[in-house]
Amino acid sequence: MLICIIMALRLLFFPARFKYKEVSFENFIFLGITYIVIMIGFGILYLLLDMRGLIVFYDVYQNVDSVGHFLSKLETSIYLSAVTLFSVGFGDVIPVGIGRLLVIIEALLGYTIPAAFVVRTFVDFDPSSRK
């Protein structure tokens, strides 16, 4: 998962390698896929750490005796990832322990992705095109 996240970010933050430099449908699809990869990647990372016995998050509404315990944890971890990536959180899922550091990293990525997308779309990095 970490490799997928790093590769998606590498493609976004190194815009000189792309031929499309205008606002286009392909660029918006690329942005959406980048968000999805990061959201699911961090969600699975939260889940894996939780399965290893580390307490990463606390869900206020989660029923511990639920039948689909694994699916409930998966849903909560992806929800935490999405809420962290797209906003500052709602407070119903609270990161604890190492989860706090991961949430900070994910939130930082969530704030820098739109800026990188704008730079990638509108700034020309090719010195030969300048006159």
- pLDDT tens, position by position, 101-124: 999 999 998 888 888 777 777 765
Rounded-to-integer distance, Cα 45 and Cα 105, Å: 13
What tens digit of pLDDT does each residue of 40-88 get?
999 999 999 998 988 899 888 776 555 458 888 899 999 999 999 988 7
Of 83 and 13, the structure prediction assigns the larger pLDDT to 83
| Residues in CB range of 26: below 8 A, 6 or more apart | 20
pTM to 2 decimals?
Answer: 0.79
**Can you tell me which residue has the tokens 């906003």?**
87
Nearest CA to 86 among 10, 26, 32?
32
- Token pair for 13: 């933050």
pLDDT at 8 over 90: no
